[in-house]
Amino acid sequence: MSAVSDILKQVTIPKMVRVKQSFPRPRIEDVKAAVLAELKRPEIAERLKPGKRIAVGVGSRGITNYQLIVRTIVDELKRIGAKPFIVASMGSHGGATVEGQTEILAGYGITEEAMGCPLCIGTGTQVIGTTQDGLPVQIDAFAAQADGIIVVNRIKAHTAFMGDYESGLMKMLAIGLAKQAGADYCHAKGFGHMAETVPKFGRAIIQYSKLLFGLAIVENAYDDTYIVRAVPAESIAQEEPKLLLEAKANMSRILIPEADVLIVHEIGKNISGDGMDPNVSGTFATPYAHGGIKTQRVAVLNITQESHGNTVGWGMADVSTRKAFDSFDMDKTYPNSLTCRVTQVSKVPMIFKNDEECIKAAIKTCADVDVEHMRIVYIKNTLHMKEILVSEALADIARSIPQAEVCGECEPLSFDEQGNISGTYF
């Protein structure tokens, strides 16, 4: 037995019980029909002309129905005689390489074959104008040569700053469509200025580019598509803040406000830009945003395959596992931190050989706690909040929350022979 295993063998993991969390669930039943209805609104349809080459900007987030929404836009463009093609609008993600960004899009089912149109993925940009204070404004070189541009993105709370424009259309323009070079420029002053930087560059791109409109997506707490809205380019600055408020009002969260340990089964770029959304997990890497559950320790057990080795956000965990470490790809991870100037998210937590020792280490390193009644919350990831597990010490608190339902009895977590979680909990 190793010295680490010897220290941890006396640590007891408390029994856990399943808790169902309930949130409002407004949603669109027929997403394709909703997208088509938006595209056929007169103020949108009049912008779509036969024969025009239209760049459709697509990002790097795991958005529900993203493939369907993008394909519906492409098909409608083709129907009216336009010539659509897809450009990657994801800044430095995918290691800021053609191969990496192509791989990310393929992971979401966005390929030339699936979309029925070309994918023009490149790293080059073209300067199209300047901001009001004289800074150069650039966008994807392929998009700059198009007759029109459409961007498609989800509106949601950002993970590192708060403002009228967080994650959404304006950010996709200022940072995503501007590729790594533009993203680097936007991040140069740091997240403390991002609430001003994003709209400054976004407004300039709206002014100088051939942006037609943005297709905004809002999801409910269950990741269902709740709103699709085609926003004319000139209206984005006025409409996006309203959609952001809708998104925040419908966010999923952990209903229990405080615990000793949070266990996150998986993190990944397909889940959040920070791997795990700090608006849920409380793992903020900057002082410019706040919220989420309050804990002493965070344990991360796995990195999703869809992350392709990008472990941004993993550094906000205190402890993790060897299998998560084996997923870590520096070339996929570090470009994000080098671009956004936040190093903490790319650090490596304490690594343990399996899930069991990782969880025990999180418990062991808590200070000034009741070790006989550890307060632990275990979630699948920060997107899926319908069911969570809580330890015995939190069961009564969960029962007191109207939106929570405690299901069954408290039972020990199940581990396989390798010491990894073997039960199906989510």
Whether residues 203 and 297 fall in one domain? no
Looking at residue 189, its pLDDT comes to 78
Looking at residue 400, its pLDDT comes to 96
Q: What token pair was written down for 384?
A: 């899926």
H or E segment at 199?
helix 194-208
The Cα–Cα gap between 359 and 349 comes to 13
Amino acid type, 422: S
Torsion of CA 218, 220, 221, 223, to 10 degrees: -70
Whether residues 267 and 238 fall in one domain? no
Mean pLDDT of the chain: 93
What pLDDT digit, counting tens, does each position of 91-147 carry? 777 777 888 888 888 888 999 999 999 999 988 889 999 988 888 899 999 999 999
Looking at residue 161, its pLDDT comes to 87
Whether residues 137 and 174 fall in one domain? yes
Whether residues 222 and 290 fall in one domain? no
- The range of the structural domain enclosing residue 347 comes to 3-23+252-412
Residues 215-228 have a mean pLDDT of: 95
38-42, 186-190, 275-279, 411-415: least confidently modelled range: 186-190
52, pLDDT greater than 80: yes
- Note whether residue 421 is domain-resident: no
Looking at residue 379, its pLDDT comes to 98
Structurally, the chain folds into a number of domains equal to 2
- Note whether residue 123 is domain-resident: yes
The CA R_g of the chain, rounded to the nearest whole Å, is: 22
Whether residues 120 and 165 fall in one domain? yes
Whether residues 204 and 267 fall in one domain? no
Whether residues 238 and 312 fall in one domain? no
What pLDDT digit, counting tens, does each position of 187-206 carry? 887 888 889 989 999 999 99
DSSP 283-352: --SSTT---S-B-SEEEEEEE-GGGTT--TTGGG-SEEEHHHHHH--HHHHHHHHHHH---GGGS--EEE
How does residue 425 score in pLDDT terms, banded at 50, 70 and 90?
Answer: confident
Q: Kindly state the percentage of the chain with pLDDT values over 70.
A: 100
The Cα–Cα gap between 153 and 325 comes to 30
Amino acid type, 94: G
- Note whether residue 424 is domain-resident: no
Whether residues 149 and 298 fall in one domain? no
Looking at residue 180, its pLDDT comes to 78
Select the highest-mean-pLDDT range: 53-62, 331-340, 373-382. 373-382
- Note whether residue 267 is domain-resident: yes
Q: Identify the CATH number of the domain in which residue 134 sits.
A: 3.40.50.11440
Is 343 within 8 Å of 336 (Cβ atoms)? no
The domain boundary, picked from 250, 275, 306, lies at 250
Residues 390-408 have a mean pLDDT of: 96
- Note whether residue 325 is domain-resident: yes
Whether residues 272 and 240 fall in one domain? no
- Note whether residue 418 is domain-resident: no
- pTM confidence score: 0.84
Residues 303-324 have a mean pLDDT of: 95
Is 278 within 8 Å of 285 (Cβ atoms)? yes
Torsion of CA 190, 192, 193, 198, to 10 degrees: 80
- Note whether residue 426 is domain-resident: no
**Beta strands 297-303 and 350-352, pairing class:** unpaired
Whether residues 273 and 234 fall in one domain? no
What pLDDT digit, counting tens, does each position of 351-365 carry? 999 999 999 999 999
Q: What token pair was written down for 65?
A: 């129905």
Whether residues 348 and 309 fall in one domain? yes
The Cα–Cα gap between 231 and 396 comes to 46
Whether residues 314 and 293 fall in one domain? yes
